[in-house]
Amino acid sequence: MEFPRDREAAYVQRMFGWQRQRLRRLVLLAPVLLFLFVALQALLMPAPLSDWLHDPLLYVGLVVLTAVALWMRTLHDANLFAAGGVALQTLFLVSCAMSTRPGHGGVGLLLPMFVATPLVTAPFWARNSTVMMAILLGYLSGALALWHAHAGSTVWLAYGVQALGGGIVAMAMHATVDHARRNYFLAEEELAERARLDALTSTLNRRHFIETGELMLSHMRLGQHLAACFIDLDHFKRVNDQGGHRIGDQLLVAVARRLLELEGHGRLIGRLGGEEFAMLLPGLRMAEAEQLLQSVCADIGEIAVEGHACTASVGIAEWQPGETLSDLLHRADLALLNAKRNGRNRIVQWSEDVAA
Ligand SMILES: Nc1nc2c(ncn2[C@@H]2O[C@H](COP(=O)(O)OP(=O)(O)OP(=O)(O)O)[C@@H](O)[C@H]2O)c(=O)[nH]1
C-alpha cells in the first residue's frame, strides 16, 4: 500500500522529529566506531599495528564517514536524514570490509555487525525501498569483507546462515512497522474526514463548507454560474416535540441522504445549523437550481420516520461576479425567509423584491 509523498514525508517527520536531536548526536559515532573497530582488529591480529595505520583506505573511509556524519547533522529534512543514515551505514560497513586483512581470524567480528544491520535498519527507515536497499547494501558489504579477508568456507557458511536468519527477522520487523504505518495513515485519514463532516448527517460541517465555498468562489470567473441554496425543514421543532429527538435525528439523516444524492459536479452540501442545510451548485443558474430542488423537496416531503414527516423551504440566490460567499449566502437566506413567511414548503428565488 503506497501513500502520497507528502503524507509519507509527514509521517517520517513525526517519526524522526522527536529523536532527531539524539540521532544527530549519534551520527558522529560512526567514524569513532570505525576507528575502534580497526584498533580492535589490530590488537587481535599478529600483524603490526602500523599495517593498519599506514593503510590509506582506512583514512579515506574515516574522512568520508566524518564528512557524511557532519553533513547529516545539518539536515532538517527527515527523509533526507533517513537516506543519509543508509549512506552512513553503507560507508561504515564498506570501510570495515576494506580494513579487514587477508587471513584475518578476527573476521568473525564482522559477522554480527553485517547481520545486525538490517535488524537495526528495518524499524527506522520505514519506507519499503529504503529498507530493502539498506539490507542489500549491508549484506553486500559483509560479502565484500569476507572476500577481502579471503575467508574460509566455514566463515562464509556462518555468514550465510546468519544473513538468512537476519533477513527473515528484518522482514518480519519491517512488516510490523509497515502495518503500524498503515494504521497510522488510516487513523489520520479518518480523523481528517471526521473534521470535515457533520457527525450526524455526514454532510460537510459548517466550517468546512464555508472554507471550501470561499475557495470555490475565489476561482469563479466572469460568465460562470453558481447557485447557492438554503434548505430549511419546516416546523421541525414539532417533530422533536411530538416524536422526540431520536426521530428528529433520523429525519435529518434521511433528508441529508437525499441531498447527498446530488453530490458530484463540484457541488458542496453542508449542514450549517440544526435543521438547516446549504448547497453550492457550480454551473447552475437560479432557474436550473430550482428545477433540481423541486424534485428533492418532493422527495423530502415523502420521507416519514415512524409516521413523522416534514416539508422543506428553500431559498436560492445566484452568484454575482465579485460577490463574497457571505453576501451570496445572505441573499439565499433572505429568499428562504421569504419562503417561510409565505407559507413554507416552497422554493423562492432571490430578487430585489425579496430583499425589500
Ligand atoms: N433532533 C434534532 N433536532 C435538532 C437538531 N438541531 C436542532 N434541532 C432542533 O430543530 C428545531 C428548530 O426549531 P426552529 O428553529 O423553531 O425551526 P422550525 O421548528 O423548523 O420552524 P421553521 O424553521 O420556522 O419552520 C429545534 O427544536 C431544535 O432543537 C439536531 O441535531 N437533532
Nearest residue (CA) to ligand 1, atom 13: 237
Q: Report the chain's mean pLDDT, rounded to a whole number.
A: 82
Report which residue type is found at 203: T
**Domain chopping of the chain, boundaries:** 5-194, 206-355
Q: Which residue has the higher pLDDT, 180 or 260?
A: 260
Catalytic, out of 8, 214, 275, 323: 275
C-alpha 197 – ligand 1 centre gap (Å): 20
For 161-203, the pLDDT digits (tens) are: 877 877 787 777 777 777 777 777 788 888 888 889 999 999 9
Contact of 35 with 62, CB cutoff 8 Å: yes
Q: What percent of the chain has pLDDT over 70?
A: 76
Vertex 90 angle, CA 138 and 145, to 5°: 60
d(CA 291, CA 109): 81
- Mapping DSSP to helix (H, G, I), strand (E, B) and coil, where does residue 219 land? coil
Q: What percent of the chain has pLDDT over 90?
A: 43
For 231-240, the pLDDT digits (tens) are: 999 999 999 9
Could you tell me the pLDDT band of residue 270, with boundaries at 50, 70 and 90?
A: very high
For 33-42, the pLDDT digits (tens) are: 777 777 776 6
Vertex 104 angle, CA 98 and 105, to 5°: 135
Is the CB of 341 inside a 6 Å radius of any atom of ligand 1? no
Could you tell me the pLDDT band of residue 1, with boundaries at 50, 70 and 90?
A: very low
Average pLDDT over residues 286-299: 96
Report which residue type is found at 171: M
- How would you classify residue 281: left for phi > 0, otherwise alpha for psi between -120 and 50, otherwise beta? beta
pLDDT for residue 133: 74
CATH 3.30.70.270 applies to domain 206-355: yes
H-type alpha helices, 45-77: 49-53, 56-74
**Position of cell 441522504?**
257
Contact of 84 with 23, CB cutoff 8 Å: no
